Amino acid sequence: MKKTLLFGALALAQASIPAQAADTWLNAREHRIIGGGAAPTATYPWMVSVKGKDGGHFCGASLIDTQWVLTAAHCVEEESAAGIQVTIAEYDQSKADDGEQTLDVSAIYLHQQYGDDHDIALLKLSTVSDKTPVALADSTFMANLASGAELTTIGWGLTKDGDNSSAATVLQQVNVPLYDQAQCKTNYGTLNIAITDNMVCAGLEAGGKDSCQGDSGGPLFVRSGGSMVQLGITSFGEACAKAKFPGVYTRVAAYSDWIIKAKNGEVPAHQGPKPGGGNGSCDDCNEEAVLGLPPYLDLYLAAGETQATDTLTLTNPATASANLMVSEMTLVGDGFTLSDNGCENQAVEPGKDCRFKVTYKNPASNATYAEGELTLATNHSQHSRIVVELFALNGDAFDEGDGVTCAIFDDLNIRQQGLTLDCEDQPDGDNNSDGSDADGSDEKDPDATITVAGALNPWMLLGLMLLPLAGRRNAQY
Ligand code: ARG
């Protein structure tokens, strides 16, 4: 379940929360973050504001290494690396502070099991930051943390629960005690919300001090001998600052290994850059279906639609002698997402199958064509790597006025690619079904009807064909 908040001038783009906590947005009540106040300047050089390319803050984060920023998965679940940026050492959102640094993001790594748990993501920066990163707590550090220890959380989120116009301009901080884990579990249990060992709670029994919407992704940390150690990532809560319902933070120490893996490139990137330089080349495409997966998937948005989804099935043949395991599924390509993943890290017995969904959501109003690639790493001796090429085409892209005609198909020499092309004869008689225009010209005929059949998917070809059209269009604007 997702929720989008608009914070006045600060666009809280797609600040969604774990599904189980969704109600907490709706139950929001007026509660000022009591005990909170403006942070001193230049105190948190590792504090990060995650923004859209328009500069609108939507989540907090922290610099944990020169090129790595830690945030909540729910903050960036619907983002692509190209669509966001981060400001490190941000303080006053309304101006460029001394020393702040705005950098692009080259990749987003979302926890693979993110859902109602594992609300953690890493952003890889396109260039290194010169700011000093914050230290992260490990499990030993957590074990030594006294119950009731004084912790601090900071951010630019709401200063009044439920009041979307109350987002802070200047970085705010509030001290909150570590909350008893068992008590947190019990209290949230009454709302049917599971507090797992991957979470840590902080707040007062009586409420009154808390993080709130817009603070997500930001840090919960402790001052320890002159330095600061981050132990939580702002994740969710029942309203804000409410008695008996402390803020819930992702327990950073539970992800020490995951963070190392992500930095090592062992976690699939979330919506990475387009593969193959966008030229439609398909070097390692499967020629035919492999274990039930097609070599390509076409997602077609009919005119006016903004997203399309297809369910794919991976089958372990009944004749197989072992379970089929998918250790990793990697999806790249702007606008494509993987969901309801019943295959990754699952054992598929012989004769059984598993399913997952691929969705294409048009990321830009006039994106005509998109391509992506889904790669599955399996334990299969012959198919350790299965690639499904993804193509998406926006129906608005080939209205009649676009001149998608047989003549253009002829331009592409589709026959040479082993395809049959069936263009209906037109009244003027020069778009012949054999593709040879009577006058030898590439005339546009908006009424031409096109049917393509063959080994390659027609939408891929349409997409290829439309690339120059799309380019021309953009250049005209
Ligand atoms: N999920 C919220 C966000 O996206 C953070 C909520 C924190 N709530 C709390 N009571 N501590 O910004």
The domain that contains 325 carries what CATH number? Answer: 2.60.40.10
Give tens-digit pLDDT for 46-79.
999 999 999 999 999 999 999 999 999 999 999 9
Most confident of 349-363, 370-384, 420-434: 349-363
272 inside domain: no
Torsions phi, psi for 300 (to 5 deg)? -110, 120
- pLDDT recorded at residue 350: 94
pLDDT surpasses 70 at 139: yes
Residue from 332, 377, 390, 378 nearest 109 by CA? 332
Quick one: pLDDT at residue 395?
Answer: 59
| Tens of pLDDT, residues 159-201 | 988 888 889 999 999 999 999 999 999 999 999 999 999 999 9
Q: How many CB atoms lie within 10 A of CB 23?
A: 16
Q: Is residue 251 part of a domain?
A: yes
pLDDT of 4 reads 28
Q: Where in the sequence numbering do the catalytic residues fall?
A: 74, 119, 216
More confident call, 440 vs 2: 440
Q: Comparing 465 with 230, which gets the higher pLDDT?
A: 230
390 and 420 both lie in a single domain? no
Number of structural domains (the chain) is 4
Q: Which two structure tokens, joined as six digits, stand for 286?
A: 């499967």
Q: What is the Cα–Cα distance from 33 to 241, expressed in whole angstroms?
A: 7
Q: In this predicted structure, what is the pLDDT of residue 289?
A: 83
Question: Do 126 and 150 fall within a single domain?
Answer: no
Asked if residue 198 lies in contact with residue 251, where contact means CB atoms within 8 angstroms, the answer is yes
Considering only 32-36, 328-332, 358-362, which range has the smallest mean pLDDT?
32-36
- Residue 226 falls inside a structural domain: yes
Q: Are residues 112 and 20 in the same domain?
A: yes
- Give percent of the chain with pLDDT exceeding 90: 56
Query: Of the candidates 209, 244, 259, which is a domain's last residue?
Result: 259
Ligand 1, pocket residues at CB < 6 Å: 15, 17, 157, 210-216, 234, 236-237, 240, 247
Cβ neighbours for 277, distance < 8 A, ≥ 6 positions apart: none
pLDDT of residue 222: 98
The predicted structure's pLDDT at residue 206: 96
Which of 20-29, 79-88, 446-455, 466-475 is the least confident region?
20-29
Decide if 440 is inside a domain.
Answer: yes
- DSSP string computed for 316-331: --TT-SS-EEEEEEEE
**The pair of three-digit structure tokens given for residue 26, joined into one six-digit string:** 């709706």
Residue that is written with structure tokens 């981060």 in the block: 86
For residues 330 and 246, membership in a common domain is answered with: no
- Per-residue model confidence as pLDDT tens digits over 285-336: 455 788 999 888 878 777 677 888 889 999 999 999 999 999 999 998 778 9
Residue from 49, 50, 76, 213 to probe ligand 1 pocket by mutation (most atoms less than 8 Å from CB):
213
pLDDT-derived band of residue 225, with 50, 70 and 90 as boundaries? confident
Is there a contact between 166 and 157 (Cβ–Cβ < 8 Å)? no
- Residue 194 identity: A
Distance 254 CA to ligand 1 centre (A): 20
Same domain, 410 and 365: no
Statement to judge: residues 308 and 231 lie in one domain = no
pLDDT for residue 461: 60
Range 345-353 average pLDDT? 93
Quote the CA–CA distance of 258 and 235 in Å, as a whole number. 18
Domain encompassing residue 141 = 136-259
The radius of gyration of the chain's CA atoms, rounded to the nearest angstrom, is 26
Q: Looking at residue 176, which CATH number applies to its domain? A: 2.40.10.10
For residue 237, the CA-to-ligand 1 centroid distance in Å is 6
Whether 147 and 105 map to the same domain: the answer is no
Would you say 249 and 213 are in contact if contact means Cβ atoms under 8 Å apart?
Answer: no
Q: What's this model's pTM, rounded to 2 decimal places?
A: 0.57
Task: Give the number of other Cβ atoms within 10 Å of residue 24's Cβ.
Answer: 24
- pLDDT at residue 455 above 50? no
pLDDT of residue 56: 95
Residue nearest to atom 6 of ligand 1 (CA): 236
Task: Copy the structure tokens of residue 470.
Answer: 């799309």
Residue 474 falls within a domain, yes or no?
no
- The pLDDT value recorded for residue 287 is 58
- Is a pLDDT exceeding 80 seen at residue 276? no
**Is the model's pLDDT at 95 over the cut of 90?**
yes
CA atoms within 13 A on the CB side of 375: 16
Residue 369: predicted pLDDT: 65
pLDDT digits (tens, 9 = 90+) for 376-398: 999 998 888 898 888 777 655 54
Give the pLDDT band (50/70/90) at residue 365: low
| Spatial separation of the C-alpha atoms in residues 211 and 217, rounded to whole Å | 11
Confidence of residue 371 (pLDDT cuts 50, 70, 90): confident
Distance CA 137, CA 278 (A): 41
Q: How far is the CA of 464 from the centre of ligand 1 (A)?
A: 43
Indicate the top mutation candidate among 152, 158, 212 to test ligand 1's pocket, ranked by most ligand atoms within 8 A of CB: 212
Last residue of a domain, which of 376, 395, 414?
A: 395
Average pLDDT, the chain: 77
CA of 238 to the centre of ligand 1 (A): 8
- Token digits of residue 79: 């983002």
Ligand 1 atom closest to the CA of 21, numbered from 1: 1
216/106 same-domain check: no
**What pLDDT, on a 0 to 100 scale, did the predictor assign at position 130?**
97
Say if residue 203 is exposed, middle or buried (CB neighbours under 10 Å; 0-12, 13-18, 19+).
buried
**Shared domain check, 118 and 22:** yes
Is it the case that residue 446 has pLDDT exceeding 60? Answer: no
Return d(Cα 376, Cα 52) in angstroms, integer: 30
Spatial separation of the C-alpha atoms in residues 82 and 334, rounded to whole Å = 9
Query: Using an 8 Å Cβ cutoff, are 371 and 280 in contact?
Result: yes
* Antiparallel, parallel or unpaired: β 227-236 and 247-251: antiparallel
Range 41-54 burial, b when 16+ CB lie within 10 A, else e: eeebbbbbbbbbee
Confidence of residue 116 (pLDDT cuts 50, 70, 90): very high
- For a ligand 1 pocket test, name from 4, 234, 238, 244 the mutation site with the most ligand atoms within 8 angstroms of its C-beta: 234
Q: Quote the CA–CA distance of 108 and 79 in Å, as a whole number.
A: 8
Using CA atoms in the order 176, 180, 185, 190, what is the torsion angle rounded to 10 degrees? -70
Q: How far is CA 322 from CA 190, 343, 375, 403, in A?
A: 43, 16, 21, 52
The string of pLDDT tens digits covering residues 393-430 is 765 554 444 444 444 444 444 333 443 334 443 333 33
Contacts (Cβ under 8 Å, ≥6 apart) of 445: 405, 406, 407, 426, 428, 431
How many Å apart are CA 128 and CA 342, to the nearest integer?
36
If you measure from the C-alpha of residue 235 to the centroid of ligand 1, how many angstroms do you get, rounded to a whole number? 5
Does 349 have pLDDT greater than 80?
yes
- Final residue of a structural domain among 73, 108, 133: 133
Say which amino acid occupies 357: K
Q: Which residues contact 225 (CB under 8 A, 6 or more apart)?
A: none
For residue 261, the surrounding DSSP H or E stretch is helix 256-263
Q: Which atom of ligand 1 is nearest to the CA of 15?
A: 4
The answer to whether residue 280 is domain-embedded is: no
User: 306, 401 in Cβ contact below 8 A?
Assistant: no
Per the DSSP assignment, residues forming a β-bridge with 152 are: 175, 221
Asked, for residue 265, whether it belongs to a domain, the answer is: no
